Structure 1
Amino acid sequence: MRQQLNPRRLALRSGGLLVAAALVVGIGPGTASAAPTNPTDSQIAGAQSARDQAAAAVGSISAQLAAAQASADTAHQQAQIALQDYEDKQAAAQQAQADSDAAVAASDAADAARDQGQTAVDDFARSSYMGGTTNPGFASLLTSGSPSEFVERAALLEAAGAGRSDVLDQLTVLQGQAEDAQTQAAGALSTATTLQAEAEQSLASAQAQESSARAQADTLSAQSADLQAQLTAAQQTLYGLQGAREVARQQAAAAAAAAAAVPARSTPVATGSSSSRPSSSSGGGATTPVAPAPTGGSAGAPSASAAATAIAAARSQLGVLYSWGGGNASGPTLGISPDEALVGFDCSGLMEYAYAQAGIRVGGTSRAQWSNNSDKQVDAADLQPGDMMFWASGSASSSIYHVAMYIGGNQMIEAPDRGQRVKISSVRFGGDYFGAVRPSA
């Protein structure tokens, strides 16, 4: 049951392979008068085994591919995290470098100021020595004009000497602080640079793991495509053999019926329309589903070859898992969420595959299959093997939600629902029954 065509269904369509497989067994789309060779049981069994092995291989590698893609996605997330960590460490290292540069500049400035202070003190000492005293103002004291001037000059000279000493002490302290700041900044820079290098290594490792995981997923994807092609070829071989057997059986039955009808013409008998209907449609009592009243179908007689081929193709998929959005003209495929990791069919995918083997494109969704064949409608009372039956929640075709294939005897083949497999079911008529079409007409 699908509302939209699964994009995966466009990937493996190959009409040339279908026609080639049909020609191998001697049948082709629309060749109802062909006389195919009836394959042996061992040929069909061998083809069935080959198909099953190919399907198992596709299922196995699909699981591996899903796991590899999940690993690649996880690796990508880890690489993104590593990238963010690296960028944080890189920003921290850049800031540490800027702080270190500023500390070095401050230390250099402190050194220069300390040097200037030291020079001033050295000049003071030198001039005192050259003047014959450690106090360059001693001469000025001797030349003072009064005791009060002497005291004033002595106080000024003492303050000047003390000021030089205090400034030098302060510059020495600032120089030590600047050197400490420079040392701390250099340590922080070293730590930040180390962390940046470690983050860079982690990033490179994460990116390498992602690259490896992606490469593995790509390899499995290519292998999956090859195995899917092998499965398609095996399915085409199988449906061709089954279709050939069914057509041969029908032609033999028709020949036997024609031979039996020759002597019957010499004996007058009553005729009626019931002779044209299968016995299974008129008997069965309470166990026979009640068909809706005729509405006047527009479909002609079915192509026995096309219908038989479609039925054989659908039968060949009995037991295949239901997969939401799965299946296309080439066979079962991965579905869509929540069945994106499950290979199988949904209801319309099974119909698309079955009729594609007869060379008939019915469409990819149940609604499209009704719309594309709406000019070939048949009444429930006139159902023939190969007709497609539809169910809907309302009276409009936009409400169609399920499709199945009538195979005769009040039975149909369908891909029922999630958690189930392709199977043969009893025909269901009821309030949800929408109608039927005959693609082979």
Structure 2
Amino acid sequence: MPTRGVAALTVLALSAATLLAVPGAAHAAPKPPPNPTNGQLSAAAAAKAAANAEVSRRSAAVGRLGGQVAAAQSELAALQGTAELAEQKVAYAVSKQRDGETAARTAIAANKTAVAAVTANNNDRVREVQAIYIGGESSDGATGALLQAKNPSQLLSQSTLTDFIVDNKMDAIGRSQRLAVTASNTAAKARLAVQRLKTLTAAAQSAQRAAAAAVSLQAARKSSLEATLASSRTALVAEQNAFSAAQASLVKLTGQRATYVAYQRYQAYLREQRRLAALAAARAKRLAAQRAAAQAAAARARKNHQGGGGGGGGGNTYNPPVDPVGGSWSAARGRAAVARAMTTLGTPYAWAGGGASGPSYGVCDASNGAPNDCYVRGYDCSGLAMYAWGPYLSMPHYAASQYTVAGSYHPPLSKLKPGDLLFWSNGGISGIHHVAIYIGSGQIVQAPYSGGNVEISSMYDPGTIFGATRPLT
């Protein structure tokens, strides 16, 4: 799957190719982008962290204030309910007080009336009783009855009646007096009840005033908390804006640094491509000279082999080398290996890439001069040798091992055949570092180096040849 890095490298490669293809373009490097200092980046990061901390602190404060406002609202609602209940109690107490005062006034008036009536009645009865006992005339004719009696029996009866009347009148007076006392007591109780109702009403009114004061105080506290909350929310918005600005500044500076680093890498890449292009040009020039020399040498050899002087065979006789006996090598298989290798011409070099089945992505290894080869699909030198001989031979992906595993016959350079493997070394078999396929006439097909492509070269171009191996022998 392509990655952003691969896309970037592709763009860089295309740009480098364009610069290398246009004379003088390498000198038209763009102006370097701004490169913020480490101090600027550190300051921007610190400003962002500080702004973030302030936003967190302010958010926590707003949360706490919001909770306090909600609690104050709940308390206010409860106090308002208490105040409303107190108002109802006051209304009830006032109503009962008024009812008691009305009843008291009624009882007092009734008491006055009863007392007056009893007093008048008592006075009348007292006068009548006095009149009876002193011989006076009573208002009900009792005295007349005594004087009109015809005999002692009648007189006795009338006297008894008089006593009865007097007794009954005295009982009435007593009952009237008792009623008067009861009325007086009722009036006193009514007055006492009214006094108690006044006390209860005063207490209810005091409780109502306290409840109203508590409601007012809680409402003021809630308003104060709401004002503080609104102020904190405004401050939070300002601090969030400050954080956004600090973050944007850091993002901008970080982006500038990343752009500058990419620019530097791009310039380094262009320099490397120009260096490789110069090497390739020098190599091409050297190869052209070597090919010309090889062709001239081949022409001289053919001329020498064909002999000269005529007439009696006075020239040299050419004796072709004898191929070793054993193994499954054949000239046809050697030519087939060369033909298979030639199909890869132009394929990119990929360090540790390729094999018997074809090309593959390589490995990125800057220490071996292949920093980007994991994005390149192609062959390295031993991978190309594996592919060339893949239909007939299985070999390890390691040039030093191929020298001994591919075959047992190591022909001298004067007896090379198409398909033979040539090796270059820093010293001995263990130092072998490069392999190529011999195609004839002093030419090889090889995967040369990271950044290059499979090409045809002179067999002497990579340097001094260590030796050769004929596969399948």
Contact preservation (8 Å) 2:33, 2:260: yes
Equivalence for 1:245: 257
Aligned with 1:83 (options 80, 99, 111): 80
Q: 1:95 offset after TM fit, Å?
A: 1.9
Equivalence for 2:269: 257
Aligned with 1:207 (options 216, 219, 238): 219
Equivalence for 1:60: 57
1:149 counterpart SS class: helix
1:124 aligned onto 2:121: yes
Contact preservation (8 Å) 2:137, 2:143: no
Greater CA drift, 224-233 or 82-91: 82-91
Aligned with 2:162 (options 120, 140, 150): 150
Equivalence for 1:323: none
Matched ranges for 1:37-436 at <5 A: 37-125=34-122, 127=124, 138-140=138-140, 141-144=142-145, 146-264=158-276, 266=280, 270-271=349-350, 274=361
Cα separation, 2, equivalents of 1:280 and 1:82: 77
Greater CA drift, 223-232 or 38-47: 38-47
Q: 1:206 offset after TM fit, Å?
A: 1.3
Runs of 5+ in structure 1 lacking a partner?
1-32, 284-441
Cα separation, partners in 2 of 1:189 and 1:202, compared to 1, 3 Å: same
Q: Which amino acid aligns with 1:270?
A: Y
State the Cα RMSD in Å.
3.4
Contact preservation (8 Å) 2:93, 2:200: yes
Q: 1:262 offset after TM fit, Å?
A: 4.1
Greater CA drift, 231-240 or 70-79: 70-79
Cα separation, 2, equivalents of 1:34 and 1:152: 147
CA deviations on 1:191-221 (whole Å, 9 max, x unpaired) are: 1111111111111111111111111111111
CA deviations on 1:61-99 (whole Å, 9 max, x unpaired) are: 222222222322232232223222222322222222222
Cα separation, 2, equivalents of 1:238 and 1:113: 98
Contact preservation (8 Å) 2:361, 2:373: no
TM-score, normalised with respect to structure 2: 0.47
Q: Which amino acid aligns with 2:45?
A: Q
CA deviations on 1:385-431 (whole Å, 9 max, x unpaired) are: xxxxxxxxxxxxxxxxxxxxxxxxxxxxxxxxxxxxxxxxxxxxxxx
CA deviations on 1:155-200 (whole Å, 9 max, x unpaired) are: 3322321221111011011011111111111111111111111111
Cα separation, partners in 2 of 1:215 and 1:207, compared to 1, 3 Å: same
Cα separation, partners in 2 of 1:275 and 1:282, compared to 1, 3 Å: closer
Runs of 5+ in structure 2 lacking a partner?
1-29, 147-157, 284-345, 351-358, 366-370, 376-473
Percent of pairs identical after alignment? 16
Contact preservation (8 Å) 1:128, 1:134: no
CA deviations on 1:19-49 (whole Å, 9 max, x unpaired) are: xxxxxxxxxxxxxx99742222222222222
Aligned length: 251
Larger Rg: 2
Higher helix proportion, which one? 2
1:143 counterpart SS class: helix
Cα separation, partners in 2 of 1:275 and 1:254, compared to 1, 3 Å: farther
Cα separation, 1, equivalents of 2:362 and 2:275: 17
Cα separation, partners in 2 of 1:227 and 1:276, compared to 1, 3 Å: farther
Cα separation, partners in 2 of 1:34 and 1:264, compared to 1, 3 Å: closer
Cα separation, 2, equivalents of 1:281 and 1:177: 116
Q: Which amino acid aligns with 1:147?
A: S
Cα separation, partners in 2 of 1:178 and 1:277, compared to 1, 3 Å: farther
Cα separation, partners in 2 of 1:97 and 1:167, compared to 1, 3 Å: same
Q: Which amino acid aligns with 1:57?
A: E
Q: Which amino acid aligns with 1:102?
A: D
Cα separation, partners in 2 of 1:277 and 1:110, compared to 1, 3 Å: farther
Contact preservation (8 Å) 2:51, 2:242: yes
Q: Which amino acid aligns with 1:189?
A: T
1:139 counterpart SS class: coil
